[in-house]
Amino acid sequence: MKVSVSGKVFTVGLVSFWYSSNIGVLLLNKYLLSNHGFRYPIFLTLCHMMACSILSYVAIAWLKVVPMQTVRSKVQFIKISSLGLIFCLSVVGGNISLRYLPVSFNQAIGATTPFFTAIFAYLVTLRRESWLTYLALLPVVAGVIIASGGEPSFHLFGFIMCVSATAARALKTVLQGVLLSSEAEKLNSMNLLLYMAPVAVAFLLPASIMMEQDVIGITIALAREDSTILWLLLFNSALAYFVNLTNFLVTMHTSALTLQVLGNAKGAVAVVISILIFRNPVSVTGMCGYSLTVIGVIVYSEAKKRSK
């Protein structure tokens, strides 16, 4: 009984930490990019990827959280690098969108990930789902259309960036299953992050230097004026890694289905907290649209489960 109770306590604590890190990094990104005036989303993503590179190595090589998996060939490295590029594009797009969109609308668009996953799964693998499964995606898309029409803070460029980030995230998921499908090439998510993060850094460093002029100098100057920005960046970057770590651990200690259900609830919690913190205006139409999207995601998940 003690083991059972302690196991439940551990799982609840793990899920709580997963929620905290996910919602925390989202809100802190929004605060830094919009409210704090740190308008450098590419550099912010670079900080995230650097933290993921360092902390992944510490967790795997030193702390032995999971066994180290090695890259076996040049072809496998190219596949991982391709995934790393798509991964960093999705994170950059998401961070850019937070400069222009409230967290509530950002989460509504992000909830359409299953829609893009279904599209890319068909385009890349020609795998078809049942017509009921595809039908369940209609409220997912309809909800975002309704939310867009009722969003007081709608911004076209931010909307495009958020949709692009969501699509890139779905594409990475599909390609990961295709490119690393053989038993010899399969990597768990923590080892994949270990190799993807440095690749992302290699892409993001020159991009940040060229597109966000003198960003390093400006960041150093800001840190000299007020060291708070430095601590916020460090804490935010560490949280970005713990999002991936806790995501892996929650999946390992529960199930992918439980993770999906908790993820849907997490989006709703993030929306409520962001509205309370940032006081962004919301409309009844917008909230109805977001609710319809979440319902659509739940129905889609159920339809997909039954079709198997």
* 17-61 tens-digit pLDDT: 999 999 999 999 999 999 787 999 999 999 999 999 999 999 999
Instruction: Using the predicted structure, report yes or no on whether residue 270 has a pLDDT greater than 60.
Output: yes
pLDDT at 308: 63
Q: What is the mean pLDDT of the chain?
A: 90
pLDDT at 132: 84
In a domain, 163, yes or no: yes
Instruction: Using the predicted structure, report yes or no on whether residue 113 has a pLDDT greater than 60.
Output: yes
Q: Contact at 8 Å (CB) between 83 and 179?
A: yes
pLDDT at 210: 93
In a domain, 105, yes or no: yes
**Structural element, H or E, at residue 219:** helix 215-225
- Number of domains composing the chain: 1
Instruction: Using the predicted structure, report yes or no on whether residue 2 has a pLDDT greater than 60.
Output: no
In a domain, 297, yes or no: no
Q: What is the distance between the alpha carbons of residues 242 and 22, in angstroms, rounded to a whole number?
A: 8
Per residue in 250-274, is it b (16+ CB within 10 Å) or e — as a string?
Answer: bbeeeeeeebbebbbebbeebbebb
Please name the residue ranges forming H helices in 31-137. 41-57, 74-100, 103-110, 113-125, 131-135
Fill in the DSSP letter of residue 184.
Answer: T
The phi-psi region of residue 214 (left if phi > 0; otherwise alpha if psi is between -120 and 50; otherwise beta) is: left
Q: What is the distance between the alpha carbons of residues 160 and 163, in angstroms, rounded to a whole number?
A: 5
* Lowest-confidence region among 75-79, 90-94, 149-153, 201-205: 149-153
**CA dihedral in degrees (219, 105, 112, 39; nearest 10)?**
-10
Range of the domain at 20: 14-128+158-252
Q: Terminus-to-terminus CA distance in the chain, angstroms?
A: 35
Q: Contact at 8 Å (CB) between 179 and 86?
A: no
CB within 8 Å of 301: residues ≥ 6 apart:
114, 257, 260, 261
* Lowest-confidence region among 154-168, 169-183, 261-275, 287-301: 261-275
CB within 8 Å of 121: residues ≥ 6 apart:
127, 129, 174
CA 172 → CA 63, 68, 117, 233, distances in Å? 28, 22, 9, 26
In a domain, 46, yes or no: yes
In a domain, 81, yes or no: yes
In a domain, 117, yes or no: yes
Q: Which long-range contacts (CB under 8 A, 24 or more apart) does 228-237 make?
A: 229/36, 229/38, 232/28, 232/31, 232/32, 232/36, 233/32, 233/44, 233/47, 235/28, 236/25, 236/28, 236/29, 236/32, 236/44, 236/47, 236/48, 237/47, 237/48, 237/50, 237/51
In a domain, 293, yes or no: no
- The percentage of residues in the chain with a pLDDT greater than 70, rounded to a whole number, is 96
Q: What is the distance between the alpha carbons of residues 295 and 222, in angstroms, rounded to a whole number?
A: 44
* pTM (2 d.p.): 0.91
In a domain, 216, yes or no: yes
116-161: pLDDT as tens digits: 999 999 999 888 888 888 898 999 999 999 999 889 999 999 999 9
- The percentage of residues in the chain with a pLDDT greater than 90, rounded to a whole number, is 63
Higher pLDDT pick, 301 / 125:
125
Instruction: Using the predicted structure, report yes or no on whether residue 93 has a pLDDT greater than 90.
Output: yes
Instruction: Using the predicted structure, report yes or no on whether residue 303 has a pLDDT greater than 60.
Output: yes
